Amino acid sequence: MSRPLDIGISQIKGLLMKMGKLAMDSTKLALEGFHQRGDNYAQNKMWSNMIQILAEEVEDQATELIALHQPMASDLRILKAYIKIAYDLERYGRYAMDISEIIHLIGEWEEINNDLTVKQLGESALHVMEMSIEMIDTMNETMIFELSKVETRTDDLYFENMRNLSECKGDPKGIVANLLTIRYLERLADHGSYIAESISYAATGKRISIR
């Protein structure tokens, strides 16, 4: 028979998975808008707000479980990790909204010779996000090392983009849009690393830094 604490932890995990799906959908939509010059800011702002509400619900439910059930060390680690992960997932949604906001604020820009590299960076950041959400679902802490490799690749692409843009002579609005987008994508991947570290801590009790 499941303990009330187990049921509560499972419910919080369900909220995190819902947040992860919204964050993935939001990031994909933001990147689609970037490449196609489409303004989808309103949709991503709505999703970001939904993710924020869910993050607050995670914190409230986790705090209540801690107060009511006095969890043992392993359960307490999971609840602490879930609260932190909720924040990282919230940042996913916020950065996706920020990418969408660029064209909403500055309007369309002319293509510059960097779009292909941004596409590669976006795919790599999405891969980190997907792996981090899978780790939440499976609690497979060993995935942290593979995720670290993808996150390092994302960093390499970020620096490559920075070098390309430092030499770019194209449309100033396009350069600004690219600079902002690659920064947000790099931060998305960083938060994927934070999620992986939190899962590793929850599962093993050991703190690992992969950044």
Q: How far apart are CA 22 and CA 15, in angstroms?
A: 11
pLDDT, position 170 = 85
Is domain 4-204 annotated with CATH 1.20.58.220? yes
**pTM of this structure:** 0.95
pLDDT, position 209 = 86
Q: Helix, strand, coil: what percent of the chain each, to 5?
A: 85, 0, 15
pLDDT, position 167 = 87
Domain ranges of the chain: 4-204
Tens of each residue's pLDDT in the chain, 211 residues: 578 999 999 999 999 999 999 999 999 999 999 999 999 999 999 999 999 999 999 999 999 999 999 899 999 999 999 999 999 999 999 999 999 999 999 999 988 876 668 899 999 999 999 999 999 999 999 999 999 999 999 999 999 999 989 888 889 999 999 999 999 999 999 999 999 999 999 999 988 888 7
pLDDT, position 114 = 64
Query: Looking at residue 205, what DSSP letter applies?
Result: S
Q: How far apart are CA 116 and CA 168, in angstroms?
A: 14
CA distances, 72 to each of 80, 144, 209 (Å)? 12, 25, 24
pLDDT, position 116 = 63
Closest residue by Cα to residue 20 from 54, 56, 61: 54
